[in-house]
Amino acid sequence: MKQIEAVNDFVIKFANVNGSGSASANELFAKAILRMGVPVSPRNIFPSNIQGLPTWYEVRVTEEGHLGRRGGTDMMVAMNPQTWDADIAELAPGGYLFYDSTRPLPPSKFREDIRVIGMPLTEICNAVYQDPRQRQLFKNIVYVGALAILLGIEPEVVEKLFGEQYKGKEKLLASNVQALHLGCDFARENLREPVGLKVRRADRVGDRIFVDGNSAAALGCVYGGATVAAWYPITPSSSVAEAFQKYCTKFRVDQSTGQHRFAIVQAEDELASIGVVVGAGWNGARAFTATSGPGISLMTEFIGLAYFAEIPVTLINVQRGGPSTGMPTRTQQADILCCAYASHGDTKHVLLFPEDPHECFEHAAAALDLADRLQTPVFVMTDLDIGMNQRLCKPFEWDDSKAYDRGKVMTAEELEAGRDFGRYKDVDGDGIPWRTLPGTHPTKGSYFTRGTTRDAYARYSERGPDYIYNMERLLKKFATAATLVPQPVLRPAAQKTELGVIYFGSTSPSMHEALQELEGRGIHLDAMRLRAFPFPESVVQFLAEHERVFVVEQNRDAQMRSLLVNELDADPGKLVRVLHFDGTPITARFIVQAIDAHVGKANVQGNTTTGAKEAA
């Protein structure tokens, strides 16, 4: 049996029981490798139900800096008897199985093509600790210590992380260090056969930071000027509001008076939370809510009101698996159509698609500007993979001289001077009307806010021409939005090609890796990463320039492809679906296989392109 050998390039997966305290230990493992200058991409795969169910934590160690899921497992740390068979089956031939050997297992429970490393973790912990909970918790630290020796992770790095985590809590620090050394010492003395997977110090992290997308979006809302948040707890978005409260407590409390300069409401349900946000936006505050797909469904009527009454609202949608309650702790990009056309009647909403925590920060702040500028709901379309998993990304940047874009707000002075005010009147040709805020002037600038039809001066009207004027003006405003939203990012191929690929959001890191692999196979693609809807003119041009365009997305129904066809009258025949929707993040291997297979099939049928000819 040939064992897998790799330095700074492997995948290790931890199979644990939910509620066992393993998550913090596994995260410690990942951070230790990161501190050694080697990029990692960890993902926590956890159940949506109660304690005792299976949970997994996957760490991709990648000196090349690939941050998407690779696919496949090189080492399995199997700590859950319930999932043993499936976990063992997942290992690549020549891989490594690390397990608790306190209780002997029959040979039938193992595979002949993997290397088995047994360590009596339970026996070790039972001999040292008396408290059952301590035995369970410290067993996780013990295996981290053993893995450190087996893989070449410096124990001193782990100890330093402990020191930072338990600063001022010496008792906890000492007990965790003790457990770490129990594992290190056992491995040195008893697990002497070399393991082919190694971590070696490098300098490939640079100045990048390690943060989750939900925290990044919350901080973006703070910097973007949000002062009101209303939410109802729902996985995987709850930590957005929790992080916003933490940051507001740090940055939005007057140091001299102790006065809070923010309002955070945990409402009784999603309807109430969006209602609070709509009311705050109407009153001139920058306000947002954070939710997921089921919450969007419940908020739809208020979203339609905000669209037609033209009230600034920001929604951070951390997407998860659907329909209905679906897979609450799995990731998808399946709310695109739901959000793009949220509400009954003819509605169209602005969507932003961040690719990582850095853009979660940027897009959350930008969404608040866009909502004010356009006087409309704006969705930040993140997902569980970005939102709840820590990821390396560029440091956040902010220009302190930046002025918030509050859009077209008429002042008391302008009203007093006799400026004509029609709340829903297009005076600038961009479809965006002027608004006033409550209390701007004692007698001028007032209007009725309603969700029913009206004329340009906000007077109730059911006249067809008034309705058509408003609806066409809203379309004009939507066209203006296409010039204001974050523009697509183009990655040209190394040579001229008639093949293109469109992708967005959390598919980005796997797509980057896949493009490299495909190029190595002679398949060249021009790539465009969408960052927003409505689509700018550059998307139309990209589609026109290519004979075939792959659309990569994480849902069953090719929702982004449908949006491209519906909004741009794109030829459906040239848009090729690449769909991944099992709830796990898409991998580079999946993308490469799907595109390679299609190009190969096109060659066989004689329907070749420049890129396909290269692959032949």
CATH value at residue 580: 3.40.50.920
- Considering 435, 467, 483, which residue would you say is the last residue of a domain? 483
- Considering 483, 501, 516, which residue would you say is the last residue of a domain? 483
**249 vs 262: CA distance, rounded Å:** 9
Answer yes or no: is 370 within a domain. yes
* 604 pLDDT tier (thresholds 50, 70, 90): low
Based on the fold, state whether residues 571 and 556 are members of the same structural domain: yes
Which of 22-31, 49-58, 280-289, 511-520 bottoms out in mean pLDDT, i.e. has the lowest? 49-58
Tokens 């290519």 identify what position?
546
Answer yes or no: is 536 within a domain. yes
* Domain extent at residue 495: 489-606
pLDDT of residue 19: 86
Query: How many structural domains does the chain have?
Result: 4
Which of 170-179, 414-423, 486-495 bottoms out in mean pLDDT, i.e. has the lowest? 170-179
Answer yes or no: is 375 within a domain. yes
Answer yes or no: is 546 within a domain. yes
- Considering 420, 453, 483, which residue would you say is the last residue of a domain? 483
Based on the fold, state whether residues 468 and 600 are members of the same structural domain: no
Based on the fold, state whether residues 496 and 473 are members of the same structural domain: no
Answer yes or no: is 254 within a domain. yes
pLDDT in tens, 53-109: 899 999 999 999 999 999 899 999 999 999 999 999 999 999 999 999 999 999 999
**With pLDDT > 70 as the criterion, what percentage of the chain qualifies?**
98
According to DSSP, the β-strands at 526-530 and 489-491 are antiparallel
Strand-pair partners of 60: 11, 41
pLDDT in tens, 47-65: 887 667 899 999 999 999 9
Contact assessment for residue 197 and residue 114, using Cβ atoms and an 8 Å cutoff:
no
* 606 pLDDT tier (thresholds 50, 70, 90): low
pLDDT of residue 608: 41
Based on the fold, state whether residues 81 and 32 are members of the same structural domain: yes
pLDDT in tens, 196-223: 999 999 999 999 999 999 999 999 999 9
Contact assessment for residue 519 and residue 564, using Cβ atoms and an 8 Å cutoff:
no
Contacts of 204 (CB under 8 A, 6+ apart): 37, 38, 39, 63, 65
**With pLDDT > 90 as the criterion, what percentage of the chain qualifies?**
94
* 609 pLDDT tier (thresholds 50, 70, 90): very low
Provide the mean pLDDT of the chain.
95
Answer yes or no: is 400 within a domain. no
Q: Which of 591, 575, 602 is nearest to 515 (CA)?
A: 591
Based on the fold, state whether residues 273 and 172 are members of the same structural domain: no
Q: Torsions phi, psi of 566, nearest 5?
A: -70, -40
Based on the fold, state whether residues 536 and 519 are members of the same structural domain: yes
Which of 153-157, 165-169, 491-495, 538-542 bottoms out in mean pLDDT, i.e. has the lowest? 165-169
* 385 pLDDT tier (thresholds 50, 70, 90): very high
pLDDT of residue 171: 84
Strand-pair partners of 266: 231
Answer yes or no: is 611 within a domain. no
Classified as helix, coil or strand, 156 is: helix
**28 vs 13: CA distance, rounded Å:** 14
**212 vs 222: CA distance, rounded Å:** 16
Specify the CATH number for the domain of residue 237.
3.40.50.970
Q: Is the bond preceding residue 39 a cis peptide, omega within 30 degrees?
A: no
pLDDT of residue 428: 96
Answer yes or no: is 1 within a domain. no
Give mean pLDDT, residues 484-489: 98
* Res 167 pLDDT > 50: yes
Based on the fold, state whether residues 512 and 600 are members of the same structural domain: yes
pLDDT in tens, 232-256: 999 999 999 999 999 999 999 999 9
pLDDT of residue 50: 66
277-280: long-range pairs with CB below 8 Å, 24+: 277/228, 277/229, 277/230, 277/313, 277/314, 277/315, 278/302, 278/305, 278/306, 278/311, 278/313, 280/228, 280/230
**355 vs 531: CA distance, rounded Å:** 8
Based on the fold, state whether residues 120 and 235 are members of the same structural domain: no
Specify the CATH number for the domain of residue 156.
3.40.920.10
User: Against a cut of 0.75, is the pTM above it?
Assistant: yes
Based on the fold, state whether residues 389 and 434 are members of the same structural domain: no
Based on the fold, state whether residues 443 and 557 are members of the same structural domain: no
Based on the fold, state whether residues 323 and 298 are members of the same structural domain: yes
pLDDT in tens, 325-356: 999 999 999 999 999 999 999 999 999 999 99
Based on the fold, state whether residues 232 and 359 are members of the same structural domain: yes
Selected residue with higher pLDDT from 615 and 324: 324
According to DSSP, the β-strands at 350-352 and 377-383 are parallel
Cα dist from 613 to 29, 501, 574, 592, whole Å: 45, 17, 18, 17
* Res 611 pLDDT > 60: no
